[in-house]
Chain A
Amino acid sequence: EVQLLQSGEGLVQPGGSLRLSCTASGFTFSNYDMTWVRQAPGKGLEWVSGITVIGGNTYYADSVKGRFTISRDNSKNTLYLHMNSLRAEDTALYYCAKRSTYSTGWFNSDYWGRGTLVTVSS
């Protein structure tokens, strides 16, 4: 059974940093692109970042570029999101997700974690 176990939830002050983790099981983690999608309270879905298998290429939404870093440790089956210079508008539930086996479209995802709440407030 595919599982994505998320951790790193927290309350942080504006300008602070936080690291989110997403530990995968039930599939060969190193074979799949992975992505982060966030959802502000009561709002819709916003893609944040993605990392590919081939080349480990990383991609970011303009809203987080230069502040967030996505990475993966295939030996630990874990995906990370390092978040720096956090702003109030980064407050959201952050989901990690696995690239689906159905389509080659960018970062379409068939399995999602339960989400990690990040609150940026003084």
Chain B
Amino acid sequence: NAGVTQTPKFQVLKTGQSMTLQCAQDMNHNSMYWYRQDPGMGLRLIYYSASEGTTDKGEVPNGYNVSRLNKREFSLRLESAAPSQTSVYFCASSEVQGSSPLHFGNGTRLTVT
């Protein structure tokens, strides 16, 4: 039982390059989320998807796009990476938004030079 799987684990990009972070969950959860973690800032919500077919902005959405491909998969795209997007990115899922705990993946460490 894998839970929440994120790929890749590590990535280095040059400024202006694009990439997509992949996330898949096998718990049949309805809601999925993307967070970023920066030193001294805790975890901040980038985008979330309350259910398949819907996506909404979180606290720090600028510079990112998301796709809820199906119930299992939720991807995060950086169209033109900037050094300020250097961070650790966590995908999470929950059975129901707002009333059940989040289950997190192990993160993607992204460095933008």
Q: Do A and B bind each other?
A: no
User: Which residues of A are interface residues toward B (Cβ below 8 A)?
Assistant: none
